[in-house]
Amino acid sequence: MNHEDAVRPCAEADALKLVQSLRALDAKQLLQSAVERGLTFGECINAFGVTPEESAFVSAAQAMPDDDIEFDDRTVVSRSERGAFVHCWHFVPNEAAGIPEPSVMLEALQYFAATHQGGGDPQLKAKYLALAQLMDVLGAEFDELEGTPREVVPSCFDLGDVSIEMLPSRLVAELAAIALDQGFSPVLAEALLNWIEHQCNLLDQLAAEMFVAAA
């Protein structure tokens, strides 16, 4: 018997079970299930959206000049009595949302640790000390990261009073996540994690240039 023929009934049975389980879900449950499996908002827009060629409202919206507004190739239109609402992406800079510079957020993270850690975990204290050392040396340079990042190989940095066996970007992300669980501002924690997501390589590169990797 061909091996493919042998496994096909099992595969077909599994597929049938999957279809039956999906049919048992209502629309909201089905959407939640899809999100848990990786469905993105962009994919939903593509499914429901239309192009400028298909909608006069999308075409008109894209023709309106505004540097802070962007449209997807396909976007969603909601008709009203006198026109339509066209989905767009309106860019809002950090300062307009009240999000401070990274150095200020890192100082807030340090202050939170100093006032909430108490006895604390020695290893966690060492990580906050490492962050303090980074802040002392790099300071406002955290706020001016730019350029094309290079891959940073060292995973151990000698910071003088303490060494860290991880990249600085990972250190910041880990401390922000821990502090969030302990009551740190969710707005600042999210902003720090977003900053790390976009600037991690530049931060690690800057730290590698300033500190000699420990032997």
pLDDT digits (tens, 9 = 90+) for 30-70: 878 888 888 888 888 888 889 999 999 999 999 987 888 99
| Single-letter amino acid code for the residue at 24 | A
Query: CB neighbours of 126 closer than 8 A, spacing ≥ 6?
Result: 162
Tell the burial category of 50 from Cβ atoms under 10 Å away from its Cβ (0-12, 13-18, 19+): middle
Give domain limits for the chain. 26-91, 97-210
Distances (CA, A) of 42 to 35, 49, 50, 89, 201: 12, 10, 13, 12, 26
214: pLDDT strictly greater than 50: no
Record the tokens describing residue 125, joined without a space.
């204290």
DSSP class of 54: T
From first CA to last CA, the distance across the chain in angstroms is 60
| Angle at the Cα of 172 from the Cα atoms of 89 and 188, rounded to 5 degrees | 45
Task: Give the confidence band of 126 by pLDDT, cuts at 50, 70, 90.
Answer: confident
Task: Give the confidence band of 82 by pLDDT, cuts at 50, 70, 90.
Answer: very high
pTM (2 d.p.): 0.70
Asked whether the beta carbons of 128 and 174 are under 8 A apart, the reply is no
- 80 backbone dihedrals φ, ψ, rounded to 5°: -125, 180
**Would you state the pLDDT for residue 3?**
42
Helix (H), strand (E), coil (C) string for 61-114: HHHCCCCCEECCCCECEEEECCEEEECCEECCCHHHHCCCCHHHHHHHHHHHHH
Asked whether the beta carbons of 180 and 189 are under 8 A apart, the reply is yes
* 129-158 pLDDT per residue, tens: 888 888 887 878 888 888 777 766 666 666
**Would you state the pLDDT for residue 154?**
61
Distances (CA, A) of 75 to 41, 52, 102, 171: 11, 9, 33, 39
Nearest in space to 102 (alpha carbons), one of 193, 205, 10, 201: 193
85: pLDDT strictly greater than 70: yes
Task: Give the confidence band of 210 by pLDDT, cuts at 50, 70, 90.
Answer: confident
CA distance 210 to 173: 20
**Would you state the pLDDT for residue 39?**
84
Task: Name the least confident of 28-42, 77-91, 145-159, 186-200.
Answer: 145-159
**Would you state the pLDDT for residue 211?**
72
**Would you state the pLDDT for residue 101?**
94
CA distance 50 to 86: 10
Asked whether the beta carbons of 69 and 89 are under 8 A apart, the reply is yes
Mean of all residue pLDDT scores within the chain? 81
128: pLDDT strictly greater than 50: yes
Task: Give the confidence band of 165 by pLDDT, cuts at 50, 70, 90.
Answer: confident
**Would you state the pLDDT for residue 6?**
45
